[in-house]
Structure 1
């Protein structure tokens, strides 16, 4: 399956992570308000001059480079997301601000003030997603879903979303864009699925909330889209897969949002199961497989079709997995607690790396920064998400290796 090839220690608890859509770059948002961006080494040898002249060149091949680190928010950094081309990184924190920064340097280019609650208090963000170069989606604790036009410069005084909806009665826990239609001229999605509380909803960029499911009698936590599945009858081979708080995946046929179609029990224990906190679709060579990150620190792999768990790895023995995805090189990135782990397809030989403790350059360039990194300030106390993460012990352990195998 997958072997750990590197473990990155963090200075504070991880709240969120984001993976660059075009380069081997990962950003993390921490409970202390820090945002840090790492560059992973490329698996392919690059000898041309253009690659060597890259301003964030892979000059530490085989090592993890910290591109920049800064105290971006006063309070926790709740959510991160790259723009569609990866040039901009959006972050949102419990200080009530969204900041758009260069993913290369960390320099802030734009700010958006999140509309407060009716009583004037901060409506903390829960998720952020760049739907297109024009539209930014922001979900909050109060169940608000704000849509911003990125072509308009915002300020703390004038920030107003173009639209606001309330697709759920509880905070928005996940957002998954649906593919653009065959008639789309832009190629960008205009509809998306959200989960919040015990319901699933579909919203259209122009028409607002289209449909909301019935109460599923379970908290819905995470979601992903998977296409290319076998079609039959009314099924078009497109599904949205939703992770629940009791360790169950539910499958929803695209376009038929009345109720779930299938259920997959990913995790079972005496308490019913740990929450599916994060999900990702694996690379194509694995087939139709979902990686599910659980509140007990495990990542389980589920084959869609047979709807069976067929493998698992352990990110952490105590802390749950809050971030999960795959970079452009096909490596799995898992995050939770105070670590981020990088995995590659393993040979099951029990050796996940060379054992050399070559770490990323964890510089102290950390001051609250609308520019590039500056010296660190004292961290804020940890602030947890509205829904606490599940924790449990797993005695199987896991590999904790500090360098890339065969890349040093």
Structure 2
């Protein structure tokens, strides 16, 4: 089904709770809107009719609220990890924190970025990241006073726009070469001296239009940054599969590059052709499969290892797919039209489950 909007959307995000049925979007007009959509079962009788044309009681969605925190276009929306707040990005560099229930402004970081922000990612309840068109990445703590606009930390290792960010809670560590008994003992002693051993490898993975991928240890200061070699192509999107042991990156040329954290992230380990145009957005479907949105207007299902195109789940009529998001059985995708396309993935997921059985 389609959700009709008053202007073109620039970003879309689901509430983290699959039972909430809430979807937020930011529009080029500066408006931020929250929609409550019903399950597919509620609108089975309307099959064949676009939901955007339904009226009154038969309508398959309801707009909970619509606000305009900034006169500038809204370039990003993302729910907090608990879902009680909605963060938004304005073109003038400001960041807003809205109350999910009412849409009222809770906090504002006025001109948090000197250039237009491009990406937004909540990491924990009290930590979120933002990136801008100049390649600057900033970490923010919503508990801090916002009048100083002081970020927790700022990274400037990229020099072109931040295209996507991915938070990995258990990123596979690089394999280490075999050590002699003496080297093993020295390593054990070093680890014993650490005040707090790291039980999991949490990392922020970032792609940029400058052609590089970076991995940031947000708890290690500015020294905890690794940057890949120049891929000689714009890196536009990223998703993880195989329990974070593989990362898939979409590029301007339409090639999917495969990265293996166990082999280090200085360069990709494989290339997957098949997309005729740039892969601007993607998300994980399951541990072996991703959804890709391309500038040819199609959202595809792609299997990783072995690589295989499984099909097409949405079509934007030849207009570029700018963003896709997924929560449970639902996928939302936006392009250059004034609507959000909602796709029910339940049949696809049930088919995968039957094959596993």
TM-score for both structures, normalised by structure 2: 0.79
C-alpha contact 1:74 1:94 (8 A) present in aligned 2:
no
Give distance in 1, aligned partners of 2:294 and 2:36: 26
Residue deviations 1:347-397 (CA, integer Å, cap 9, x gap): 79xxxxxxxxxxxxxxxxxxxxxxxxxxxxxxxxxxxxxxxxxxxxxxxxx
Equivalent positions of 1:3-402 (< 5 A) are: 6-22=1-17, 23-42=20-39, 63-115=60-112, 117=114, 123-155=115-147, 158-180=148-170, 190-196=202-208, 197-207=210-220, 208=222, 209-228=224-243, 238-255=245-262, 256-268=264-276, 274-282=277-285, 284=286, 288-328=288-328, 330-337=329-336, 338-345=338-345
Structure 1 residue 24 displacement after superposition: 1.6
- Can you list the C-alpha shifts for 1:49-86, whole angstroms capped at 9, x where unaligned? xxxxxxxxxx9686201011122222211111110011
Query: Equivalent residue of 1:206, what SS?
Result: coil
Distance 1:33 1:200 in 2: 30
Return the offset for 1:102. Answer: 1.1
Per-residue displacement from partner, 1:273-327 (whole Å, max 9, x unpaired)?
x111111111x4xx61111001111011101111111201443113211121222
CA gap of 1:28–1:112, structure 2 versus 1, over 3 A, is same
Pair 11,43 (structure 1): closer, same or farther in 2 beyond 3 Å: closer
Q: CA deviation at 1:96?
A: 2.2
Question: Cα offset for 1:42?
Answer: 3.6
Change (3 A) 1:170 1:181: closer
Separation in structure 2 between the aligned mates of residue 347 and residue 82 of structure 1, nearest angstrom: 27
- Is the CA contact 2:165–2:204 (under 8 Å) kept in the aligned structure 1? yes
Cα gap change, 1:170 to 1:265, in 2 (>3 Å): same
Offset, 1:166: 1.3
Which stretches in structure 2 are left out of the alignment for 5+ residues?
43-55, 173-196, 349-357
Q: Is the 8 A contact 2:95 2:112 kept in 1?
A: no
Offset, 1:227:
3.0
Following the alignment from structure 1 to structure 2, what is the Cα–Cα distance between the partners of residues 336 and 344? 18
How far did 1:200 drift?
A: 0.3
Aligned pair count reads: 304
CA 1:311/1:132 → structure 2, altered by over 3 Å: closer, same or farther? same
Contact 1:42–1:61, Cα closer than 8 Å, also in 2: no
Give the 3 Å change call, closer, same or farther, for CA 9–71 of structure 1 in structure 2: same
Q: Is the 8 A contact 1:16 1:80 kept in 2?
A: yes
Question: 1:173·1:222 contact (CA, 8 Å) conserved in 2?
Answer: yes
What SS does the corresponding residue of 2:124 show, helix, strand or coil? coil
Q: Secondary structure at the match of 1:175?
A: strand
Q: Which has the higher helix share?
A: 2
Decide whether aligned partners of structure 1 residues 259 and 63 sit closer, same or farther in structure 2, where only a CA change above 3 A counts: same
Separation in structure 1 between the aligned mates of residue 36 and residue 108 of structure 2, nearest angstrom: 25
Q: CA deviation at 1:180?
A: 4.2
Whether the aligned pair in 1 keeps the contact of 2:12 and 2:332 (CA below 8 Å) is no
Secondary structure, aligned partner of 2:6:
coil
Distance in 1, matches of 2:331 and 2:312, equals 13
Preserved CA contact (<8 Å) 1:266 1:300: no
Q: TM-score, normalised by structure 1?
A: 0.70
Select the structure with the greater relative contact order (CA < 8 A; seq sep ≥ 6).
1
